[in-house]
């Protein structure tokens, strides 16, 4: 049977360790989990069954395997140590018989974004970032429509625009909106992204290292690899949409607690075709997955055992192709969620109403 494996890792150390090891998760403080994660071996999580192509009827199976390092540990430890742990996890996937390995969240961020890891394994590796880009941009477009924000008049912002995902999202959004703000940490790198973006779209560009610039944006896509949140309640314009692709989150919970006039959605959640059983609760509703997981599934359904997305230079062509294959097999953007809760039509109507009132009052 065609198959794949996908590497996950704890993001919220206590909550995620507790999902697999209830006692350890409850007893150990975060600092101890972070410290001990370096010494844990890779962990077999579950067997995934029931993914079925809507186009061909083909069914595939897969496995979740976990790299025990938390994002903080992956960034603090010397990169070769993180590589070693991820490669060990890859070896576990190889022993299970996996023919393709997907790298989840920070295992795709660390170092050279999968290149070294792929060179040390005998099976191909993909970060899943091509489909993550496609789904993030789809989510921004759909959220704009549901919030009655016409793209043709909107100002958008990409936070983390110099990253692997951010750079291509910027190029795609530049074809939709007249004004685009590129936010990053390094001006020189931002200028390079701006140059690329100008070749793609007509949007007028602003490059900045100042996060407060997003206060002008109607649509914000945030995709940094910061360990801590970087978008707070006071950063956002009334009526804005924020699509948070970062894992761990880039948007502070304070935003939904203090701002009932902005919509925050999680980017990257998709419906999986078939009657999928992941054998593990990674915190999403049943039959939905992260877009990066979905990319690995799509490639297995296609029988394309190749390192589809590796490194930080992702092309629009890769994104367009995986988007087409996703549609063919029946993967699609799932309903929106905001801080673990489903976003209903009523919720969106309420935000729009609050924003209208606030603008009226102002």
Ligand X SMILES: NC(=O)c1ccc[n+]([C@@H]2O[C@H](COP(=O)([O-])OP(=O)(O)OC[C@H]3O[C@@H](n4cnc5c(N)ncnc54)[C@H](OP(=O)(O)O)[C@@H]3O)[C@@H](O)[C@H]2O)c1
Q: How far is the CB of 280 from ligand X (least distance, A)?
A: 16
Contact between 69 and 7 under an 8 Å Cβ cutoff? The reply is no
Q: How far is the CB of 268 from ligand X (least distance, A)?
A: 3
Q: How far is the CB of 331 from ligand X (least distance, A)?
A: 12
Rounded CA gap, 130 and 279, in Å? Answer: 26
Rounded CA gap, 97 and 90, in Å? Answer: 11
Question: Could you say which of 72, 101, 109, 220 contacts ligand X (CB under 6 A)?
Answer: 109
Answer positive or negative: Cα dihedral of 277, 283, 288, 289.
negative
Residue 184 interacts with ligand X (CB under 6 A)?
yes
- Which string of x and - marks every residue 19-58 that binds ligand X (by CB under 6 A)? ----------------------------------------
Residue 107 interacts with ligand X (CB under 6 A)?
no
Question: Could you say which of 268, 300, 307, 325 contacts ligand X (CB under 6 A)?
Answer: 268
Residue 102 interacts with ligand X (CB under 6 A)?
no
- Nearer to ligand X by C-beta: 28 or 113? 113
Pinpoint the alpha helices (H) of the chain. Answer: 13-20, 22-27, 30-37, 71-76, 79-96, 115-119, 129-146, 164-173, 187-200, 254-258, 291-302, 316-329, 345-361
Please state, in angstroms and as integers, the Cα–Cα distance from residue 116 to each residue in 24, 77, 86, 184, following that order: 32, 16, 10, 25
Question: Could you say which of 219, 230, 310, 333 contacts ligand X (CB under 6 A)?
Answer: 230
Place of tokens 């403080």: 29
Stretch that binds ligand X, among 115-123, 224-232, 276-284, 342-350 (CB under 6 A): 224-232
Nearest residue relative to ligand X (C-beta) = 163
Q: How far is the CB of 225 from ligand X (least distance, A)?
A: 4
Contacts of 237 (CB under 8 A, 6+ apart): 214, 215, 216, 217, 218, 262
Residue 225 interacts with ligand X (CB under 6 A)?
yes
Rounded CA gap, 284 and 231, in Å? Answer: 23
Residue 108 interacts with ligand X (CB under 6 A)?
yes
Residue 196 interacts with ligand X (CB under 6 A)?
no
Rounded CA gap, 167 and 195, in Å? Answer: 11
Place of tokens 């109507």: 349
Residue 75 interacts with ligand X (CB under 6 A)?
no
**Which residues of this chain interact with ligand X, rule CB under 6 A?**
105-106, 108-109, 113, 128-129, 132, 160, 162-166, 184-186, 189, 223-226, 230, 245-247, 267-268, 290-292, 312
């Amino acid at each position: 049977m065609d198959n794949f494996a996908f590497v996950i890792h704890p993001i919220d150390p206590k909550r995620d360790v507790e999902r697999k090891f209830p006692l350890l998760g409850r007893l150990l403080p975060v600092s101890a989990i972070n410290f001990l994660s370096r010494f844990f071996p890779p962990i077999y999580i579950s067997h995934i069954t029931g993914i079925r192509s809507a186009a061909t009827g083909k069914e595939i199976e897969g496995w979740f395997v976990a790299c025990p390092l938390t994002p903080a540990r992956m960034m603090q430890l010397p990169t070769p140590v993180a590589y070693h742990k991820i490669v060990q996890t890859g070896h576990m996937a190889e022993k299970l018989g996996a023919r393709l390995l997907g790298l989840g969240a920070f295992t795709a961020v660390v170092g050279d974004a999968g290149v070294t890891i792929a060179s040390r394994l005998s099976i191909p590796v993909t970060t899943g970032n091509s489909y993550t880009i496609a789904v993030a941009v789809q989510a921004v477009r759909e959220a704009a429509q549901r919030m009655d924000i016409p793209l043709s008049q909107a100002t958008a912002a990409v936070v983390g625009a110099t990253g692997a995902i951010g750079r291509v999202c910027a190029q795609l959004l530049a074809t939709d909106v007249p004004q685009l703000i590129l936010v990053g940490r390094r001006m020189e790198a931002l200028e390079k992204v701006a140059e690329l973006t100008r070749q793609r779209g007509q949007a007028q560009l602003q490059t900045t290292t100042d996060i407060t610039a997003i206060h002008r944006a109607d649509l914000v896509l945030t995709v940094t690899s910061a360990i801590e949140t970087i978008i707070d309640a006071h950063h956002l314009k009334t009526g804005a949409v924020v699509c948070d692709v970062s894992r761990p989150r880039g948007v502070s919970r304070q935003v939904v607690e203090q701002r009932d006039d902005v919509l925050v959605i999680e980017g990257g959640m998709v419906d999986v075709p078939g009657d999928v059983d992941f054998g593990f609760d990674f915190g999403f509703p049943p039959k939905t997955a992260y877009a990066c997981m979905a990319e690995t599934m799509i490639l297995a359904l296609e029988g394309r055992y190749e390192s589809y997305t590796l490194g930080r230079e992702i092309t629009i062509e890769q994104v367009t192709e995986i988007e087409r294959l996703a549609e063919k097999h029946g993967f699609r953007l799932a309903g929106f969620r905001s801080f673990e809760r489903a976003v209903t039509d009523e919720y969106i109507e309420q935000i729009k109403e609050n924003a209208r009132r606030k603008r009226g009052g102002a």
